[in-house]
Chain A
Amino acid sequence: MSQAAEADRRLADLMKRAQAGDRAAYQAVLRACVPLAAAAARRAGVPPSAVDDVVQDVLLTIHRALPTYDPARPFMPWLRAIAARRAIDSLRSQGRRGAREVHDEAAYLNHPEEDVDFIEQAARQGDAARLREAIATLPPRQREAVEILGLREQTLEQAAEATGHSKVALKVNFFRAIRSLRSRLGGNADV
């Protein structure tokens, strides 16, 4: 049996155990998927800065699609299809965003911090559980920005240092997150 076929058989076996509820097997298969998903994203032309977002989307999709995997079939085509699709989704979403948004670093950095109030207000109004659920469904980078800037209330400088992202990137992700949180929690989507 070739090395690739052997690796596929091993992953298929781990998936079978994961479907039965084996958490260790599930973690092992998800970890093995990270480099494979990253490679698929790079092959599809996803910019390096967005590859990790695609990887996290792939992991979330694997979680949702777990019952669709047939252990009698090879694992790699199943994973490749998910990774390729999420890479295309990422490229499309970047294309749409690029056509819609104007990038002005100074404007982002000088925008007042009133959005933190929105999160505090939502939490105070007894919406904490809904807020947590809505935050969990955000794309990984937006979730990270909300957790650090909104919930832990770190400054932009501290957050940039802790995450390794630029201040502008953090603030852009924070704005986008607040926008989707507002619309999901019934508030005004305009920031």
Chain B
Amino acid sequence: MRMSDSTAQEGLIGRLAENLRPVTPLPAPWKRTVFWFAAVVVLAALLATQADLPALLVRLRAAPDMWLSQAGALLTAFLAAWAAFQTSVPGRSTWWAALPLPAFLLWVGASTAGCLRLSPLPGTEHEPAMHPVVCLEFLVIVSAPLAGLLTWRLMRACPLRPGLTALLAGLASSGAAASLLAFLHPFDATADDLLVHFVAVLGVVGLCRVFGKRVLDQ
């Protein structure tokens, strides 16, 4: 090491020590996940006041794949958020990013199964329960604040792979939004619905990956 490098490093160490302020260690990732998930629960409670809950329960009891799809979306949201918080801490394994994968597969698989069960007979037409564009708007509008809140919480950490962390944040937000959609859309997904859901989830994840990475990279 050259003398000038050593001096520069000493100078930097001095400046950093000068700027040191006491910090509180961040709570464990699971605690931060629970905090974020509480916001999802609050949103769910608000939506529940607008929903026809008895009809929703009847539908869920009658269609097991809808249960599974809802459970998959909700689990994906929780596990992806947990993985995002884990990957935002230096030294935690990147394998945490694989945590939401089984739940994601359950979500996609059960939604597809429900869609296939609803496939109309040849020559007949299925009336969609809710216009797909409304679903798309709902998914994007509900995902945005959840993704914002999650990114804000993640900014307090120091993600060394901001792209991966932002992508997980997008998956968590879109999973939560998809499960909340059940309050307004208590029916199995038609092929159109499924396509719209897929586009919305992909869009939210992509936007989070691009913009979240920029924010978390600072």
Q: What sequence of 0s and 1s flags, for each residue 9-41 of chain A, a beta carbon within 8 Å of any chain B beta carbon?
A: 000000000111101001100110010001000
Q: B158 to A61, Cβ gap below 8 A?
A: yes
Instruction: Among B19, B25, B28, B92, point to the contact of A67 (Cβ < 8 A).
Output: B25
B21-71 interface (Cβ within 8 A of A): 21-26, 28
Given contacts A78-B91, A85-B160, contact A59 B16 (CB under 8 A): yes
Given contacts A56-B9, A63-B16, contact A21 B90 (CB under 8 A): no
* Smallest CB separation, A89 vs chain B (Å): 9
Q: B4 to A165, Cβ gap below 8 A?
A: yes
Given contacts A30-B16, A85-B160, contact A19 B9 (CB under 8 A): no
The residue in A20, A30, A34, A68 that gathers the most chain B C-beta atoms within 10 A of its C-beta is A68
Q: B88 to A68, Cβ gap below 8 A?
A: yes
Q: A68 to B12, Cβ gap below 8 A?
A: no
Residues of chain B within 8 A of A19, CB atoms compared: 22-25
CA distance A30 to B161 in the complex (A): 23
* Smallest CB separation, B43 vs chain A (Å): 28
The count of chain A contact residues (Cβ–Cβ below 8 Å) is: 40
B58-115 interface (Cβ within 8 A of A): 88-92
Residues of chain B within 8 A of A31, CB atoms compared: 13
Q: A81 to B90, Cβ gap below 8 A?
A: yes
Q: A80 to B158, Cβ gap below 8 A?
A: no
A140-169 interface (Cβ within 8 A of B): 140, 144, 162-165
Q: B160 to A69, Cβ gap below 8 A?
A: no
Instruction: Among A21, A56, A71, A165, point to the contact of B22 (Cβ < 8 A).
Output: A21
CA distance A31 to B16 in the complex (A): 12
Given contacts A65-B90, A162-B4, A164-B4, contact A20 B12 (CB under 8 A): no
The count of chain B contact residues (Cβ–Cβ below 8 Å) is: 32
Q: B9 to A82, Cβ gap below 8 A?
A: no
Main secondary structure, interface of A, reads: helix
Residues of chain A within 8 A of B5, CB atoms compared: 52, 164
* Smallest CB separation, B24 vs chain A (Å): 7
Residues of chain B within 8 A of A126, CB atoms compared: none
Whether a CB of chain B sits under 8 angstroms from the CB of A70 is: yes
Instruction: Using CB atoms and an 8 Å cutoff, list the residues of chain B in contact with chain A.
Output: 1-5, 8-9, 12-14, 16-26, 28, 88-92, 156-158, 160-161
- The 10 tightest CB contacts between A and B, nearest first, are A21-B22, A65-B158, A78-B91, A85-B160, A81-B91, A77-B91, A52-B5, A81-B90, A67-B23, A164-B2
Known: A52-B8, A60-B16, A68-B26. 20 other contacts (CB 8 A): A19-B22, A19-B25, A20-B22, A26-B17, A26-B20, A27-B14, A56-B12, A63-B19, A64-B158, A67-B25, A67-B156, A68-B25, A69-B90, A77-B91, A78-B90, A79-B91, A162-B4, A164-B3, A164-B5, A165-B4
18 A-B pairs with C-beta separation under 8 A: A18-B20, A19-B25, A23-B18, A26-B16, A30-B13, A61-B90, A61-B160, A65-B90, A66-B23, A67-B23, A70-B28, A73-B91, A79-B91, A81-B91, A82-B160, A85-B160, A144-B4, A163-B4
